[in-house]
Amino acid sequence: MKRLRHIMILTAIFISICNTPLVHGAEKSVESYTELTASELDAFIERMTVNLQSVKNLKSEFIQERHLSMFLDVLSAKGSLYFETQDKLRWELKEPYSSILIFNGGYIAKFNLENGKYVRMNLGMEDMFRESLRQILSIMRWDFKKVREDYKITILKGGDYNLVMRPVSTGMARIIKSLVLSIDPKSNYITKIIINEPHGDYIEIRFSGQEENRSFNQHLFDINNPLTQHHSESTLNKSK
């Protein structure tokens, strides 16, 4: 179960929401928002799907914070996200350690920096990783047909939109209580995600510096020899 929890938390990313010390505060903060009706929810998802059709890829910086009820200190990491709508995703941690997770056309690879070189790791439970990453890509494309089979979705409207996803299956609910995505109404970007766990721990991911429809070097998504952190930025503007 510990291994499964690690996989689901890692791959629930992007998405994948509030500045409070406890998860219960995070969920209470959305109560001041107005919940959309079923018809309003469908209209919102359809509108977002249309608005995002022109987005072919996206790059974003992120800060990821792990809040554990047994510790006062917050475990923080920084990195970059690269996404293409054709089933390509790169989740790269840069601080305090370096690792790269790549999903490309159904294939998955994870690399850790060891002795100055990126070494490909043995993932284990690859099918679970693959399904979780497919769900994430569906969310990023606003393809909610499959997502709504696995999660109960509500949307709350306030200064921004909070999309709350709660697992349907009891097995998944033992691992993840809810995912809450904060969506900017002007840019349509996901600006923040909180992954709530059943016993009060949570992960908060904040996104910034989003850039869309850039010309990515396709070696960013190479599952055998991906671009390193040094080269990924210098080759970002090169043509495919």
- Asked whether 49 and 57 are in contact (CB, 8 A), the reply is no
Q: What is the mean pLDDT of residues 178-198?
A: 89
CATH superfamily of the domain spanning 2-234: Lipoprotein localisation LolA/LolB/LppX (2.50.20.10)
Q: What is the mean pLDDT of residues 9-27?
A: 36
Written as six digits, the tokens of 5 are 């929890």
d(CA 69, CA 22): 8
Position 134 pLDDT exceeds 60: yes
Tally of residues, the chain = 240
pLDDT of residue 232: 53
Position 164 pLDDT exceeds 90: yes
- Asked whether 62 and 45 are in contact (CB, 8 A), the reply is no
pLDDT of residue 196: 92
- What SS3 class is residue 87? coil
Q: What is the mean pLDDT of residues 108-121?
A: 90
Q: Which of 181, 207, 198, 225 is nearest to 45 (CA)?
A: 181
pLDDT of residue 156: 94
pLDDT of residue 21: 27
Residues 28-52 have pLDDT tens digits of: 344 588 999 999 999 998 888 887 7
The end-to-end CA distance of the chain, in Å, is: 41
- Asked whether 14 and 83 are in contact (CB, 8 A), the reply is yes
d(CA 40, CA 151): 18
pLDDT of residue 143: 76
Q: Identify the residue with better confidence: 139 or 160.
A: 160
d(CA 37, CA 122): 45
Q: What is the mean pLDDT of residues 87-101?
A: 91
d(CA 17, CA 182): 6
Maximum alpha-carbon separation in the chain: 55
| pLDDT category of residue 100 using cuts at 50, 70 and 90 | very high
- Asked whether 63 and 78 are in contact (CB, 8 A), the reply is yes
Q: Identify the bridge partners of residue 151 per DSSP, sorted by sequence position.
A: 167
Q: Identify the residue with better confidence: 229 or 147.
A: 147
DSSP one-letter string for 116-165: TEEEE-----HHHHHHHHHHHHHHHTT-HHHHHHHEEEEEEESSSEEEEE
